Structure 1
Amino acid sequence: MARIQKPADFAVLLKQYGLEIFELARTYKAIDDKGRYLHWDEFRRYPSPGVNKEAAWAAIKMSRALGSKTLELRSECDSPFFLSTTDFCDAVIHAVESVTSRLGGAKASSPQYRDNTRYLVDSLMMEEAISSAQLEGAATTRKVAKDMLGKERLPLDDDERMILNNYHLMQHAKYNKDENLSVALICEFQAIATAGIEEADARPGQVRDSDDIFVGGAGDEVVHQPPKAALLPARLEALCRFANDCHDGHEGRHFIHPVVKATILHFMMGYEHPFRDGNGRTARCLFYWFMLKSGYWPFEYISISTLLKEAPMQYGRSYIYTQTDAFDLTYFVTYQLRVIERAMHEFMEYFEAKRRESVELMSWLDTFELNNELNYRQGHFLKKVLQHPGRIFTPKELTHDYDISENTARKDLEKLVGMKLLFKVQEGKGFLYLAREDAEANLKKRQRRS
Structure 2
Amino acid sequence: MARSKVEKAPTFNFPDDLKEIGSLLGQCDVTDAKGRYLHWSQFKWRVDKENAESLWKAVKFKRMSQYKQIGLKDENDNPFVYCTPHSMEATLYQLVKITGGNVGTVADSTASDSLQSRFLVSSLIMEEAITSAQLEGASTTREVAKKMLEEEREPIDEDERMILNNYLLLKHAEQKNKDELTVDMILEFHRIATQGTTENNVIPGEFRADNDIYIEDGDGNVAHQPPDFHLIEERLKALCEFANQDHSGQGGCDFVHPLIKAIVLHFMMGFEHPFRDGNGRTARALFYWFMLKSEYKLFKYISISKLLKEKPKDYGLSYMYTEKDDNDLTYFIYYQLDTISKAFEELKNYLDHKVYEFKKISESLEKTAWGSTLNFIQKDLIKKAVKEPGRVFTIKEVSKSYSITDNTSRTYLNKLTEFKLFLSTKDGRKTIYIAPSDLLKKLNSAKI
TM-score by length of 2: 0.92
**Conserved 8 A contact 1:116-1:358:** no
Aligned to 2:6: 4
Give a deviation string over 1:176-203, Cα, whole Å, max 9, x none.
1111111111111111111111235311
Equivalent-residue separation in structure 2 for 1:391 and 1:61 (angstroms): 59
User: Post-superposition shift, 1:292?
Assistant: 1.1
Map 1:399-414 onto structure 2 (within 5 A): 399-414=399-414
Equivalent-residue separation in structure 2 for 1:409 and 1:137 (angstroms): 35
Q: Which range moves more in the overlay, 294-303 or 116-125?
A: 116-125
Aligned to 1:88: 87
User: Post-superposition shift, 1:329?
Assistant: 0.5
User: Post-superposition shift, 1:441?
Assistant: 6.9
Aligned to 2:54: 55
User: Post-superposition shift, 1:389?
Assistant: 4.5
**Conserved 8 A contact 2:218-2:313:** no
Aligned to 2:121: 121
Give a deviation string over 1:371-409, Cα, whole Å, max 9, x none.
431111111112333454544321122123323222221
Aligned to 1:253: 253
Equivalent-residue separation in structure 2 for 1:442 and 1:55 (angstroms): 75
Q: Match of 2:99, as an amino acid?
A: T
Aligned to 1:347: 347
Equivalent-residue separation in structure 1 for 2:443 and 2:175 (angstroms): 41
- CA, structure 1 residues 135+420, in 2 after alignment: closer, same or farther (shift >3 Å)? same
Give a deviation string over 1:75-106, Cα, whole Å, max 9, x none.
11111111101222222222222212342687
**Conserved 8 A contact 2:217-2:317:** no
Give a deviation string over 1:325-365, Cα, whole Å, max 9, x none.
11111010011111111111111121222233333333222
User: Post-superposition shift, 1:112?
Assistant: 8.7
User: Post-superposition shift, 1:38?
Assistant: 1.0
Unaligned runs of 5+ in 1: none
Equivalent-residue separation in structure 1 for 2:111 and 2:257 (angstroms): 32
Equivalent-residue separation in structure 2 for 1:425 and 1:372 (angstroms): 27
- The answer as to 2:225 corresponding to 1:230 is no
Q: Which range moves more in the overlay, 159-168 or 95-104?
A: 95-104
Q: Match of 1:288, as an amino acid?
A: Y
Aligned to 1:190: 190
Equivalent-residue separation in structure 1 for 2:335 and 2:436 (angstroms): 51
Q: Match of 2:309, as an amino acid?
A: K
User: Post-superposition shift, 1:250?
Assistant: 2.3
Aligned to 2:384: 384
Unaligned runs of 5+ in 2: none
**Conserved 8 A contact 1:135-1:308:** yes
Map 1:203-222 onto structure 2 (within 5 A): 203-217=203-217, 221-222=221-222
Equivalent-residue separation in structure 2 for 1:5 and 1:106 (angstroms): 43
**Conserved 8 A contact 2:288-2:300:** yes
SS of residue matched to 2:424: strand
SS of residue matched to 1:223: strand
Root-mean-square deviation (CA, aligned residues, Å) is: 2.4
Give a deviation string over 1:1-56, Cα, whole Å, max 9, x none.
951111232117x52x442212111111111112111111211222416x522221
Map 1:119-198 onto structure 2 (within 5 A): 119-198=119-198
Give a deviation string over 1:131-154, Cα, whole Å, max 9, x none.
111111222221222222222222
Aligned to 1:68: 67
Q: Match of 2:199, as an amino acid?
A: E
Equivalent-residue separation in structure 1 for 2:37 and 2:367 (angstroms): 56
User: Post-superposition shift, 1:295?
Assistant: 1.1
Equivalent-residue separation in structure 2 for 1:2 and 1:78 (angstroms): 23
- CA, structure 1 residues 367+58, in 2 after alignment: closer, same or farther (shift >3 Å)? same
Map 1:97-116 onto structure 2 (within 5 A): 97-103=96-102, 113-116=112-115
Equivalent-residue separation in structure 1 for 2:339 and 2:234 (angstroms): 31
Equivalent-residue separation in structure 1 for 2:357 and 2:333 (angstroms): 35
Map 1:325-340 onto structure 2 (within 5 A): 325-340=325-340
User: Post-superposition shift, 1:259?
Assistant: 0.8
**Conserved 8 A contact 1:106-1:113:** no
**Conserved 8 A contact 1:72-1:242:** yes
Equivalent-residue separation in structure 2 for 1:445 and 1:28 (angstroms): 70
**Conserved 8 A contact 2:29-2:59:** yes
- CA, structure 1 residues 250+147, in 2 after alignment: closer, same or farther (shift >3 Å)? same
User: Post-superposition shift, 1:269?
Assistant: 0.3
Equivalent-residue separation in structure 2 for 1:218 and 1:357 (angstroms): 39
Aligned to 2:288: 288
Q: Match of 2:66, as an amino acid?
A: G
Q: Match of 2:59, as an amino acid?
A: I
Q: Which range moves more in the overlay, 280-289 or 244-253?
A: 244-253
Aligned length: 442
**Conserved 8 A contact 1:420-1:442:** no
Q: Which range moves more in the overlay, 349-358 or 338-347?
A: 349-358
Aligned to 2:309: 309
Equivalent-residue separation in structure 1 for 2:403 and 2:61 (angstroms): 53
Equivalent-residue separation in structure 2 for 1:202 and 1:231 (angstroms): 19
User: Post-superposition shift, 1:443?
Assistant: 5.9
TM-score by length of 1: 0.91
Give a deviation string over 1:169-224, Cα, whole Å, max 9, x none.
11111111111111111111111111111235311001223222221236663221
- CA, structure 1 residues 383+346, in 2 after alignment: closer, same or farther (shift >3 Å)? closer
Equivalent-residue separation in structure 1 for 2:445 and 2:39 (angstroms): 69
Equivalent-residue separation in structure 2 for 1:443 and 1:143 (angstroms): 26
Q: Match of 2:312, as an amino acid?
A: P
